[in-house]
Amino acid sequence: MEPNTEIRRLLDVMPASARMLTKIVSKPQQAKVIDASFPLPWNQERPININFDLWFRLGKPQRDLLLLQTVSWLTGVKWFKPSIYQGVLVAGLVGGLVESTQSDVVGVAIAVGLSAIAGFRIWRTNQSPELELEADVAAIRIAGRRGYSESEAAEHLLSAIETVAKIEGRSGLSFNELIRCQNLRAIAGLSPVGLPKSYIQ
C-alpha cells in the first residue's frame, strides 16, 4: 500500500478536532513504528511520525487503534487546563516580575522557585502513566464511532501494543505498556483483573 493513500485513510479515522492539531508524517528512517514527541505548549502542530514499512506489518484494525491512541494522547496533554498548579505558576511569574521591578533579589528567587515547582508538577502530570491509560480509553470510545465494539477495540489495541514491540525488536514490553495491556485485557473481557477505577482519572 502507498503511504499517501494510508495517510488519507487515517485522517478519515481521526476525530475532526484532532485533524486541526496533528499532522501525519512519513519517517522511513525511524526505528519505531509510530512516534510522537511530547507536545510543548508553544508547539502549534503535533506531528505523528510513522515508519510505513513497519506500519503495514500491522492489521488494519491494529493500525486504526494505534493511531487513535496516539492522537488521544497528543490531544490529552493540557498545559493550560485550570488547576492549582497553573495558578501557582502564573502567580509566581507575576510575583517575579513585580519583585524584579523593586530589585528584590530574594523575592524574585522565591517567585521563580514557586513557578519552577509548579511547572515541574504540570510536566509530571502530563507525563504520567494515567494519561496513556486515559488515551487508551478515549481511543476505544472513538473507535466505537468507527464501527468497533468496545471489546473488539480493546483487543485490537492490546494486540497492536504487543505486535509493535516484536516489530521493533524489543525483548519485552515497558512497565507502562504492561499496565496498559492489563487494563485492555479487562476491558476486552479477557481477564477478570483490571486496574482500580481510581487509577484512571
Amino acid at 182: Q
Q: What is the mean pLDDT of the chain?
A: 84
What pTM did the predictor assign? 0.77
The sign one gets for the Cα dihedral 63, 141, 125, 130 is negative
Cβ neighbourhood burial of 117 (10 Å; 0-12, 13-18, 19+): middle
Q: What is the pLDDT of residue 109?
A: 80
- Which of 41-45, 68-72, 173-177 shows the lowest mean pLDDT across its residues? 41-45
On whether both 8 and 55 belong to a single domain, the answer is yes
> What are 150's three cell numbers?
468496545
On whether both 186 and 90 belong to a single domain, the answer is no
**Average pLDDT estimate for 13-22:** 89
pLDDT in tens, 48-60: 999 999 999 999 9
Q: 126, 155, 190: which is the final residue of a domain?
A: 126
Q: Give the confidence band of 185 by pLDDT, cuts at 50, 70, 90.
A: very high
> What are 178's three cell numbers?
504492561
On whether both 57 and 18 belong to a single domain, the answer is yes
On whether both 100 and 178 belong to a single domain, the answer is no
Q: Which of 53, 191, 76, 91 is nearest to 139 (CA)?
A: 76
Say if residue 26's pLDDT is above 60. yes
Q: What is the pLDDT of residue 84?
A: 61
On whether both 191 and 156 belong to a single domain, the answer is yes
On whether both 139 and 55 belong to a single domain, the answer is yes
On whether both 138 and 111 belong to a single domain, the answer is no
pLDDT in tens, 71-118: 999 988 765 555 565 566 667 767 777 777 777 777 778 777 777 776
On whether both 96 and 157 belong to a single domain, the answer is no
On whether both 68 and 151 belong to a single domain, the answer is yes
> What are 109's three cell numbers?
528567587
Contact status, residue 33 vs residue 50, Cβ threshold 8 Å:
yes
Range of the domain at 72: 3-78+128-199
> What are 136's three cell numbers?
487508551
DSSP single-letter state for residue 47: E
Q: Look at 19 and 61; give whichever has higher pLDDT.
A: 61
On whether both 14 and 62 belong to a single domain, the answer is yes
Distance (Å, rounded) from C-alpha 150 to C-alpha 139?
Answer: 10
Q: What is the pLDDT of residue 196?
A: 58
In sequence order, the β-bridge partners of residue 23 are 47
- Report the phi/psi class of residue 35: left, alpha or beta, with left for phi > 0 and alpha for psi in -120 to 50: beta
> What are 199's three cell numbers?
487509577
Q: What is the pLDDT of residue 125?
A: 62
Number of structural domains in the chain: 2
- Which of 21-35, 95-109, 153-167, 182-196 shows the lowest mean pLDDT across its residues? 95-109
On whether both 28 and 7 belong to a single domain, the answer is yes
Q: 103, 126, 149: which is the final residue of a domain?
A: 126
